[in-house]
């Protein structure tokens, strides 16, 4: 191709430990730190290291013979990561464990009716948030809260927008983005739509979730199964 190596020295901005964890660790260790059998960061106990420096060394050098590969993260980033690991025992979800992912998938795609709004494994509507990688970016406790109390869990960017155009036609969708003059949403026909607020007759952002609460509609076991299923969704890997 071309000829000369251009080395770009880019100074990385400071990152918080939770972000570093999500980017570098969660795919294997899970959002809750218990993704690998026998390893559970929430206990505050580590099989090999005991000090922060031990943890720093393992993050840098990996563990030979295991999937734990070496990392090139700079010292400051590894220190932030260790700080986050030490804080994890306080952040475990209440519903972790006990569920069966295969049964959860049956509920998700069947009686739960989840795919009428959500998408996972290539199935379901896109009108609600895509959950195909829920296990990479959500904790069990977050998922449980979303299922039992959607109004408390809905993210700002997912709020429902109802707009009436100048000609009286209505548009309903899930908010994806917004600025002073415009709003971007995915509508109920799964179209990406950008609206100019100045052209709308009326425009409302609902603070409640369109998702019903499943409190009392799923048995505790079904709830645990669905959570286990969603935690198993890590997105595609080669």
Partner 1 sequence: MMPIETARAVMIRIFILFLLSGTLYAQVTSERLLHPEREPQNWLSYSGSYSSQRYSTLDQITRDNAKNLELKWVFQSRSLEKFEATPLVVDGVMYLTQPPNDVVALDAKTGRAFWIYEYKPAADARLCCGQVNRGLGILGDTLFMGTIDAHLLAIDAKTGKPIWNVEVGSAKAGYAITHAPLVVKNTVIVGVAGGEYGIRGFVAAYDAATGKEKWKFYTIPGPGETGHDTWEGDSWQHGGAPVWITGSYDPDLNLTYWGVGNPGPDWNGDDREGDNLYSDSVIALDADTGKLKWHFQFTPHDEYDFDAVQIPVLVDTEWEGVPRKLMMWANRNGFFYVLDRVNGKFLWGSPFVKVTWATGLDKNGRPIPAPNTKPTREGVKVYPGNQGATNWFSPSYSPRTKLFYIPTWADYFSVYTKTSTPFQEGRFYLGGLPRSAIPMMVRGAVKTWTEEDGYGSFIAIDPRTGEKKWEFKMNDVTDSGLLTTASDVLFGGGREGHFYALDARDGKVLWKASLGGMVDSGAITFKAGETQYVSVAAGQSLFTFALRN
Interface contacts to partner 1, rule CB under 8 A: 1-6, 8, 10, 23, 72, 119, 122, 126, 130, 132-133, 176-177, 179, 181-182, 184, 186, 189-192, 194, 196, 235-238
Q: Is 216 left (phi over 0), alpha (psi -120 to 50) or beta?
A: left
CB of 84 to partner 1, least distance (A): 18
Nearer to partner 1, 23 or 54 (CB): 23
Provide the minimum distance between the beta carbon of 24 and partner 1 in the complex, in angstroms, as a whole number: 9
In the bound complex, what is the minimum distance in angstroms from residue 215's beta carbon to partner 1?
A: 27
CB of 40 to partner 1, least distance (A): 25
Tell me the closest approach of the beta carbon of residue 7 to partner 1, in angstroms: 11
Rg (CA), the chain: 22
Cβ distance to partner 1 smaller for residue 132 or 150: 132
- When the beta carbons of 43 and 194 are compared against partner 1, the nearer one is 194
Nearer to partner 1, 43 or 170 (CB): 170
Residue number with CB closer to partner 1 (92 or 138)? 138
What are the two backbone dihedrals, phi and then psi, of residue 43, each rounded to the nearest 5 degrees? -75, -15
By beta-carbon proximity to partner 1, the closer residue of 34 and 127 is 127
CB of 160 to partner 1, least distance (A): 16
């Amino acid at each position: 191709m071309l000829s000369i190596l251009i080395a770009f020295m880019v100074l990385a901005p400071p990152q918080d430990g939770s972000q570093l964890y999500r980017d570098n660790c969660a795919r294997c260790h899970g959002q809750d730190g218990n993704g690998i059998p026998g390893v559970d960061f929430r206990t505050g106990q580590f099989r090999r290291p005991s000090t922060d420096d031990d943890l720093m060394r393992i993050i840098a050098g990996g563990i030979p013979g295991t999937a734990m590969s070496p990392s090139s993260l700079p010292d400051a980033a590894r220190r932030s990561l260790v700080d986050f690991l030490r804080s994890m025992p306080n952040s475990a979800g209440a519903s972790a464990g006990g569920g069966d992912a295969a049964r959860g998938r049956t509920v998700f795609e069947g009686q739960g009716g989840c795919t009428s709004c959500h998408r996972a494994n290539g199935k379901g509507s896109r009108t609600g948030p895509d959950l195909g990688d829920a296990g990479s970016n959500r904790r069990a406790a977050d998922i449980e809260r979303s299922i039992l109390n959607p109004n408390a869990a809905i993210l700002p960017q997912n709020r429902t927008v109802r707009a009436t155009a100048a000609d009286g036609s209505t548009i309903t969708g899930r908010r994806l983005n917004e600025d002073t003059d415009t709003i971007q949403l995915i509508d109920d026909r799964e179209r990406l739509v950008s609206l100019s607020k100045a052209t709308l007759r009326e425009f409302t952002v609902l603070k409640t979730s369109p998702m019903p609460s499943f409190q009392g509609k799923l048995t505790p076991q079904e709830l645990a199964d669905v959570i286990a299923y969603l935690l198993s969704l890590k997105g595609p890997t080669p």
